[in-house]
Amino acid sequence: MNTQKCFIIAELSANHGGDINIAKETVRAAKRAGADAIKLQTYTADTITLDVKSDLFKISQGTSWDGQYLHDLYKTASLPWEWHKELFQLAKEEGLVCFSSPFDISAVDFLETLEAPIYKIASFEITDIPLIKYVASKQKPVIISTGIATIEDIELAIKTCKAQGNNDITILKCTSAYPAEPEDANLLTIPDIVNRFKVKSGLSDHTLGTETPVVAVALGATVIEKHFILDKSIGGADAHFSLDEQEFTQMVNAVRLTEKMMGKVDYEMTKKKKSSREFSRSLFIAEDVRAGQTLSEKNIKSVRPSFGLHPKYYDEVLGKTFLEDYKKGTPLSLELIK
């Protein structure tokens, strides 16, 4: 299980409302909410798709974006590249790690000029092996989401990173539904990722609420990524499955409490445990008895507190006799019987 502090990422994504001031205040709010990092997405509509008005490029997946053409959606949702430098600087001033998901080679080159410390491969880009190869070649930590991935996709992505000499890989369990249903989270995949692929694992979460990340951390997640919005009234492509500042704060607090509760493997007999053992069971004389009387189920009992003989001796002492007269409530000991 996870013994280190979980790295919590606030995903800015499209939650900027086309206003750099909203984006900046979102960075500040992420810090207030307890995030460790703010993540951007670096693309333009032209670097992620083609401006083609055909059904092939129209969304029809039963989502809130259905009916839109990909190019139009990404044109609205994209974060202007000219904002990146200011947001990176602001995040640094706030004490947040700032990094991004690049969606093509030019985005990686641009992020390198900003000294991006981490790279994130989005779920739908896990099959873009040339992009993963180029990202991994920068020798920075690589985080990869697996929303649409097969085991073979994950294996190939990891192999591609390692072929570049980059072994700092974190694979995030992700359900590519927006929002995702809790029953589709399948969080037991998180420890399986660690065991199967020998990499770090975490969660990119699209469920509503804060419960899923808490369970993920209990299962060993070292990274939690959650979409973050300053105010849901801003609207936008991702607003309906993002957490606002109050919700994100609740999530962070719950995750940190979970980490404390997970603690460590502990069988140590502490002073408090020793004291509490006074309330455990032991053998007592349950009624007044006379010298020579036989110990029976009637006159000895296993009761609280613990000042008498250990209950494991119960069967052994039955049938023996008392050496002297004893009062009800006397702790039984081997010295009292023969």
Alpha helix positions (H), the chain = 20-33, 45-48, 70-77, 81-94, 105-113, 129-136, 151-163, 189-197, 211-218, 245-262, 271-276, 314-317
At which of 218, 240, 262 does a domain end?
Answer: 262
Domain range for 151 is 7-43+78-262
Distance set, CA 223 to CA 30, 37, 207, 220 (Å)? 16, 11, 16, 9
Could you tell me if 251 and 287 lie in one domain?
no
Is 225:171 a contact under the CB 8 Å cutoff? no
pLDDT at position 142:
98
Instruction: Tell me the CATH number at 110.
Output: 3.20.20.70
Count of domains in the chain?
2
Could you tell me if 144 and 207 lie in one domain?
yes
Q: Mind listing the pLDDT tens digit for each residue in 115-164?
A: 999 999 999 999 999 999 999 999 999 999 998 899 999 999 999 999 99
The model's pTM:
0.86
Could you tell me if 253 and 284 lie in one domain?
no
Whether 57 is in a domain gets the answer no
Could you tell me if 324 and 283 lie in one domain?
yes
| Residue 102, preceding peptide bond in cis (omega within 30° of 0) | no
| Cα–Cα distance measured from residue 253 to residue 47, given in angstroms and rounded to the nearest whole number | 37
> With the C-alpha atoms ordered 288, 294, 298, 301, is the resulting torsion angle positive or negative?
positive
| Cα–Cα distance measured from residue 222 to residue 200, given in angstroms and rounded to the nearest whole number | 7
Question: Which residues, in sequence order, are bridge partners of residue 294?
Answer: 321
pLDDT at position 145:
96
At which of 233, 262, 291 does a domain end?
Answer: 262
Per-residue model confidence as pLDDT tens for the chain (338 residues): 345 799 999 999 889 989 999 999 999 999 999 999 999 999 999 999 999 999 999 998 877 788 899 999 899 889 999 999 999 999 999 999 999 999 999 999 999 999 999 999 999 999 999 999 999 999 999 999 998 899 999 999 999 999 999 999 999 999 888 888 999 999 999 999 999 999 999 999 999 889 999 999 999 999 999 999 999 988 877 888 899 999 999 999 999 999 999 988 899 888 888 889 999 999 999 999 999 999 999 999 999 999 999 999 999 999 999 999 999 999 999 999 99
Whether 85 is in a domain gets the answer yes
Could you tell me if 95 and 38 lie in one domain?
yes
Could you tell me if 278 and 323 lie in one domain?
yes
Could you tell me if 294 and 257 lie in one domain?
no
